[in-house]
Amino acid sequence: MAVGAILVRPTVGKRALSYEFCIPNTEENRCEVQRIDPTVRFFSGSPGHIGCGSQEILCIGSTRQKDVAAVLRQLAELTYVHRIEQAFFE
Q: Indicate if the pLDDT at residue 3 is higher than 70.
A: no
Residue 7: what pLDDT? 47
pTM of the model as a whole: 0.83
Domain membership of residue 5 (yes or no) is no
Per the structure, how many domains does the chain have? Answer: 1
Domain membership of residue 7 (yes or no) is no
Q: Encode pLDDT of 20-60 as tens digits.
A: 999 999 999 999 999 999 999 999 989 999 999 999 999 99
Residue count of the chain, please give it.
90
Domain membership of residue 77 (yes or no) is yes
Q: Which sign does the torsion angle of CA 41, 81, 30, 7 carry? A: negative
Domain membership of residue 19 (yes or no) is yes
Residue 4: what pLDDT? 43
Residue 13: what pLDDT? 60
Q: Can you give the residue range of the structural domain that contains 77?
A: 15-86
Give the CATH number for residue 70.
3.30.70.260
Number of other residues whose CB lies within 10 A of the CB of residue 24: 14
Domain membership of residue 60 (yes or no) is yes
Q: Indicate if the pLDDT at residue 84 is higher than 90.
A: yes
Q: Indicate if the pLDDT at residue 18 is higher than 80.
A: yes
